[in-house]
Structure 1
């Protein structure tokens, strides 16, 4: 008899019984919206992470630099320099307040006074004098300063004198003169081989700037830390300021006749 070679039987209970026509249950499927959300979720690469860290570090550095710049404006100044700047600011505010009160008083005289015609005439004469001083057509005298800029090395340029004039204007100078040239709003400064060209006229060194105004305020404005005195010193020039109760600005600015402007004829009123 031949041996019966049948595969060994599996123990009962270890193999699930399958019925004909039945399939194994499929694994549970995720909802479509969850699959879309997972597919659209950005995946950060190593390069993107490195770029983000660099941007964060750069932003932090910019913030630190801005804060240090904002706080270093006045923190490094001495107490005397801070007091000088405060006094200059206070004097400018007082000068503007006085001008405001004067204008308000003039307005009251013109609108409420019984002699409004005389008040208007006086106001017009005062304005004409003020405008003549501003336009440089009238000489001026009064308290002020005389600033002398020595330039042994020939390093002073027109920008230095512009800064000097601008500092004096901001400090309330009512009349200015550089050498023999009257300085007005339209005066131009330019470099010249023989010095500095002021209003079309060459002014040689040393440059003498005469200003009419409050002497203390004008001299203080030129000594502000980091201002014109420091700029001239770095250029190799020296600034000497003398205050006086009476200085005279005698140079006059010649007005040119208008080329295109003509007086306009009065427009007819609505009643005509």
Structure 2
């Protein structure tokens, strides 16, 4: 090969020549459209750094749920390993996030709701009480008067007990006062227990049967009403003059043929209860709407109530022998 066709590389092998630059006047640009810039081909030209490539900006995605709430998702993290921000939920398209309701708030709300429900039920039960609705104004005034009278009696009892306590602590007269107080208490307990006779103002309550016989429940209701009105001593007698003292342990049963069994003793009608106490208070208790008088009248019977200036309760109850109960010392 000739020297103009190859150049020596130092190894004995020829080096092929690269593509030559088209001929033309020196410094003239290459006429080809895709020719590179002459400055780029120059070994003295500085290297140009490629412009930084910015990552594409991800637009926030908007998800519209069925219930009308708008959920706005945060932008995706630019770097690797970055966690995306928590989504913000706003009702009606607003940007305010919903606050979580704590367990304490739920409990307080439940208690308030229960309290309101209780107050509503109490108000309805009070406003729809049939007994109060049908009670006449005169009866209400009388009941109020009876309650005031009972309060006065209780205050008098308190004053008496305080005076007795003062006398018991008064030195020389203490022994005599203690003896008198013990005697008085023994008499009261004897009357309540039915072991002593008693006399005083009161009522005579007579039960007369109608189409239906007088039941034991009606008589027991009358006894309970009289006790609640301040009755201090009572006895019940039948048409055959048999009489039984009524105390706390007295029981009533229905007998055969319209009779009544009181403490195991059979009484025939009509039945009469003799009671000692405040006549006006006890009469009011028997005549309240829906009370004993109304119940007996509703069964076709009759209840006759008469005042007694000196009612006498003479029937006695045998003392109860205690087998198990002992006083506490």
Aligned to 1:214: 278
Aligned to 1:188: 251
Quote the offset at 1:35 in angstroms: 7.0
Whether the 8 Å contact between 1:177 and 1:251 is mirrored in structure 2 is yes
Whether the 8 Å contact between 1:187 and 1:199 is mirrored in structure 2 is yes
Distance 1:181 1:111 in 2: 41
Is 1:200 the equivalent of 2:200?
A: no
Aligned to 1:170: 228
Whether the 8 Å contact between 2:134 and 2:289 is mirrored in structure 1 is no
CA offset digits 1:16-60 (Å, max 9, x no partner): xxxxx998654434355327999xx9xxxxxxxxxxxxxx9xxx9
Whether the 8 Å contact between 1:88 and 1:221 is mirrored in structure 2 is no
For structure 2, the residue ranges without an aligned partner over 5 or more in a row are 1-52, 61-72, 75-83, 92-97, 99-112, 238-242
Q: 2:87 aligns with which of 34, 52, 55?
A: 34
Q: Report SS of the residue matched to 2:196.
A: coil
User: 1:171/1:62 Cα in 2 relative to 1: closer, same or farther (>3 Å)?
Assistant: closer
Aligned to 1:3: none
Whether the 8 Å contact between 2:210 and 2:299 is mirrored in structure 1 is no
TM-score normalized by the length of structure 2: 0.61
User: 1:62/1:104 Cα in 2 relative to 1: closer, same or farther (>3 Å)?
Assistant: closer
Distance 1:100 1:147 in 2: 31
Larger Rg: 2
Aligned to 1:101: 159
User: 1:80/1:128 Cα in 2 relative to 1: closer, same or farther (>3 Å)?
Assistant: same
TM-score normalized by the length of structure 1: 0.72
Whether the 8 Å contact between 1:84 and 1:224 is mirrored in structure 2 is no
The structure whose residues are more often helix, as a share, is 1
Distance 2:278 2:142 in 1: 15
Distance 1:64 1:260 in 2: 49
Distance 1:113 1:172 in 2: 36
Aligned to 2:125: 69
User: 1:94/1:62 Cα in 2 relative to 1: closer, same or farther (>3 Å)?
Assistant: closer
Is 1:89 the equivalent of 2:152?
A: no
Q: Report SS of the residue matched to 1:208.
A: strand
Distance 2:86 2:299 in 1: 74
Is 1:228 the equivalent of 2:281?
A: no
Q: 1:79 aligns with which of 137, 143, 149?
A: 137
Whether the 8 Å contact between 1:177 and 1:211 is mirrored in structure 2 is yes
Q: 1:148 aligns with which of 199, 206, 222?
A: 206
Aligned length: 231
Bigger RCO (CA 8 Å, 6+ sep): 1
User: 1:82/1:27 Cα in 2 relative to 1: closer, same or farther (>3 Å)?
Assistant: same
Equivalent residue runs for 1:106-117 within 5 Å: 106-112=164-170, 114-117=172-175
Is 1:123 the equivalent of 2:181?
A: yes
Q: Report SS of the residue matched to 2:172.
A: coil
CA offset digits 1:111-155 (Å, max 9, x no partner): 125310000000111111111000000111111110001112334
